[in-house]
Amino acid sequence: MKRCRAQIMPPLLSPGDCVGIVAPASHIPRENEEYLQQGLERLREMGFEIRCFPSLLKRKHLYLAGKDQERAQELMAMFLDPEVKAILCTRGGYGAQRIIPYLDPDVIRSHPKLLVGCSDITVLLIYLLEQCFVIPFHGPNVATRQFVEGDKEMARALKAALTSSPFIGEITCTVLRRGEAQGEIMGGCLSSLVTALGTPYDPNLQGKVLFVEDVNEPPYKIDRMLTHLKSAGKLARVTGVIFGQMPGCDAEKGLLHEVIVDALEDIQGPILFGFPSGHGPRNLTIPLGVPVQVHEGVVTFHGEG
């Protein structure tokens, strides 16, 4: 049984503060190196100083951004660096879950910082929330085409999350099934979320509003992952399900919606689609582990938990 402890909202940043850039998962392919430089420049335009390790581009192990212990050490170093006020990830891919055994939850909890990422970084977000009791943020990875070419709203949401307040506002989504729900929002990339089952950072979804998104997964794979979560007992007590952007997941236009409603037929609560966070063209930065309310297709954030 997981320990119960108050969640920590990390301190917000001030103008000119330093953000640390880490690569917990995949390495940056040579053809994408320009995205790192452009992403860092976009952060500087927001008014942040940058700190990163030379290994971001120099080191590679298999398809990873270095060996597991090396990536973990760099992440822990950013938590311990007093000048680094927030931590942003370069990209997802695969590999974040491999570094978790080398992280120290006590150190992270005693040095809470805003950590932002998505895709494979989902497992780190869950780890921070479930094991460290630190509220993480689902948002863009900085060395990606999505972040470099993203619109002003994506940049505004990231800066606001880092400097002013947790995302507090209303987002209107497509309604796949009507209903009302409230609870802490929890989730991330669906295919990464499923890999957390049975691990020490297995997410507790009881009483939660589940948020999931993914990319380039055909409807039958979405069905399989939802069924896996349901069979594992994870969806029995969620209060509602919100799907984010799902690019490349609905080649047969409309089939995905039907599959979702069918797979979740016996799950209570509303089902929404199209929340603007995830792999799509707009990836708004939102906190996980904070209260939200769902009413008539509108998701309202109420601040920190």
| Active centre residues (catalytic) | 119, 213, 279
Annotate 164-208 with DSSP letters as a single string.
Answer: T-S--SEEE-EEEE--EEEEEEEEEEHHHHHHTTTSTT----TT-
| Alpha-carbon distance values, 130 to 6, 45, 202, 293 (Å) | 11, 33, 8, 21
Q: Give Cβ neighbours of residue 135 (< 8 Å, ≥ 6 apart).
A: 7, 8, 9, 10, 128, 129, 166, 287, 288, 289, 290, 304, 305
Q: Give Cβ neighbours of residue 299 (< 8 Å, ≥ 6 apart).
A: 170, 171, 172, 173, 242, 272, 275, 292, 293
Identity at 299, one-letter amino acid code? V
CB half-sphere exposure, 84, CA atoms < 13 A: 24
Task: Give, as one character, the DSSP assignment of residue 141.
Answer: -
Residue with tokens 């209260």: 291
For 151, list phi and psi in degrees, rounded to 5.
Answer: -75, 175
CB 122 within 8 A of CB 193: yes
Neighbours of 44 (CB within 10 A): 12
- 85: exposed, middle or buried (Cβ count in 10 Å: 0-12, 13-18, 19+): buried
Q: How far apart are CA 124 and CA 118, in angstroms?
A: 9
